[in-house]
Amino acid sequence: MTAIFSPDMLTILAPAFIAGAVISLAHVPLGIEVLRRGIIFLDLAVAQFAALGMLAFQYVIG
């Protein structure tokens, strides 16, 4: 039985985790500013929800 997190897997995934953390650190203050100003674009929210639905559909069908 293999380990869940092998050293090889961590060397591959570490840059992705770091990039995700950097992107999150950049987007959170911007998102807070957008919400503070009340600038919410409905079409972007609908597009993101549609993309989420497509991801869920692809997950369900395999």
Question: Cα(32)–Cα(46) distance, rounded to whole angstroms?
Answer: 19
pLDDT tens for 17-56 read 999 999 999 888 888 887 888 776 777 778 888 898 999 9
Cβ 34 vs Cβ 40: under 8 Å? yes
Q: What pLDDT score does 4 carry?
A: 72
Residue written as tokens 């092998």?
Answer: 6
d(CA 51, CA 59): 12
pLDDT in tens, 4-24: 777 788 888 889 999 999 999
